[in-house]
Amino acid sequence: MSLTRRDFARTSAITGAGIALAGSAGVLATAPNALASTDTDAAHGGDADPAHGQDHGHGHGLPGVGYGPLEPDPRGVLALPAGFGYRIVTHSGRTRLESGEFTPSNHDGTAAFEGPRGTTLLVNNHELAGPRAEWTYPVPLAEGLVYDPAAAGGCTVVEVRRDHVAEWVGIAGTATNCAGGSTPWGTWLTCEETEDKAGQNGMTKDHGYVFEVDPADRRANRAPEPVKALGRYAHEAVVVDPRRGHLFLTEDAAGPNGLFYRWTPPAGFRHGRGRLRTLADDAGVLQAFKCFDSGGRFVDDLSRATRTGTVYGVDWVDVPDRDARQVSTRKQFGEGQVTRARKLEGMWWGDGGVYVVSSFARSESPVQHDGQVWFYDPRRRTLTLKVLLGVNPEPGADGAFDGPDNITVSPYGGLVVAEDGEGVQHLFGATDSGRTYPIARNELNIGTAAKPEYSEFTGVTFSPDGRTLYANIQTPGIMLAITGPWKRQRK
């Protein structure tokens, strides 16, 4: 049963501006450089997981929200608060797979799983677009694990033990593997952020799909096939509703802006390891969202929201041709049929719903901004604006946060966000009451002294025991394990 505009308007009037509909997570306010905040005003970790690199530690942590200022790194890789340290787990062109090839480049979405005998298994996307010849370190074409031999992307699986790191191919021959998402049954869904068809950009098969990768069972990954029921478009991220079985998916595209999707499984279908691969191409229902405000007015783009605490009602509209045989899925809707958003990026399931990022907006927004984080409550069918970042006036200066991308829910409260903005790049936290704080700064300059350039952070995720925060520097492709005196953050 859909939530009608009239129902939502009536409910909002009763509860008062819709704020009571925000759900259990509490309203996250804005970062220090936010546009508006008028609607919202410890366990200690152990040692870092050993890897190919050496430990780099800092002094002692500071009390209060966050962990204090970031200290420069003598190695020029990662600035961290006092008391924290990091290890390099994998490094493209330096560390090697079990099969002998170098670790592929362009690390992106990552998830951590509990492995056997105290190990941690991480599945790491490699966002490599186009033909293999264009990349120095593509994902190797491991026998039996290749979808399209012309494509450069894929995933690797990284096993972290106390005294050893191993890495092998999970899937190869896919393209532009971006954020993806983990499943409640212990697998990884890797997403292709492309719409290339066979014959385009050197590809021999159609791309723009979701594939399932099992980190614990290498045999399950053989003969990879896309889960076509989830649609073909520029996929970014995916999360699973563990109660209702829905899958939510983001699309990072423009001209027109991308969509937020929901896939409903067919009647009688039960999720589990490898079961998505058994679905027919047209199984279930793929839909795009349509939002309306408390007055029942249609919202054409999420960038219209300029106040944290804004709540929209959500309906879902069927996608006519999910495989986009002639027309891209986002272009199959006319004006007034669906709501769009600029750069729909990372997602994470938490607090009974979906945290979802819209990275920035410019000309389409009444007030320009440098990023939003929304919370979709599937029970109430509402979407609430939690974080709104103002335009960063000096992206080359340290301090302000912009361009949120990958995201995770922290076991210590609130969110951890990876920046993909201009200039300085951070990992930063946001508490439930709206305080933000730095966790790390990328100090690896891939530009020049005169024109410094710092790659985005990606793949932010905590280990299953919450003691290690894993994150990637996308270029050249470095996976980092960060440890220190993690603590419950004050609201």
pLDDT band at 23 (very low <50, low <70, confident <90, very high): very low
Strand arrangement of the beta sheet that strand 404-409 belongs to: 70-71, 78-81, 436-442, 426-430, 415-419, 404-409
**Is the pLDDT at 8 greater than 70, yes or no?**
no
Q: Which residue has the higher pLDDT, 197 or 62?
A: 197
What is the model's pLDDT at position 4? 45
What is the model's pLDDT at position 434? 63
What is the model's pLDDT at position 366? 77
- Asked if residue 289 is part of any domain, the answer here is no
What is the model's pLDDT at position 49? 37
Q: State mean pLDDT over 256-283.
A: 97
* Predicted TM-score of the model (pTM): 0.89
**Which tokens in the block code for residue 30?**
């804005």
Mean pLDDT of the chain: 87
Domain extent, residue 437, equals 42-91+391-491
- Asked if residue 431 is part of any domain, the answer here is yes
Instruction: State how far the Cα of 420 lies from the Cα of 401, in Å rounded to an integer.
Output: 10
Q: State mean pLDDT over 316-342.
A: 97
- Asked if residue 77 is part of any domain, the answer here is yes
- Asked if residue 368 is part of any domain, the answer here is no
| Helix (H) or strand (E) run with residue 408 in it | strand 404-409
Domains held by the chain: number: 1
C-alpha dist (Å) from residue 136 to 102, 141, 158, 328: 10, 14, 20, 31
Q: State mean pLDDT over 54-70.
A: 61
Strand arrangement of the beta sheet that strand 165-174 belongs to: 107-114, 120-126, 153-160, 165-174
Q: What angle do CA 472, 462, 369 make, to 5 degrees?
A: 60
- Asked if residue 182 is part of any domain, the answer here is no
Task: Of 6-20, 26-40, 367-381, 428-442, give the lowest mean pLDDT range.
Answer: 26-40
Q: Which residue has the higher pLDDT, 301 or 63?
A: 301
What is the model's pLDDT at position 318? 98
- Asked if residue 86 is part of any domain, the answer here is yes
Q: Name the amino acid, one letter, at 336.
A: G
What is the model's pLDDT at position 389? 87
- Asked if residue 68 is part of any domain, the answer here is yes
- Asked if residue 471 is part of any domain, the answer here is yes
Task: Of 19-33, 251-265, 395-409, give the lowest mean pLDDT range.
Answer: 19-33
Coil/strand/helix, residue 158: strand
Which pLDDT tens digit goes with each residue over 352-389? 999 999 988 887 777 788 889 999 999 999 999 998 88
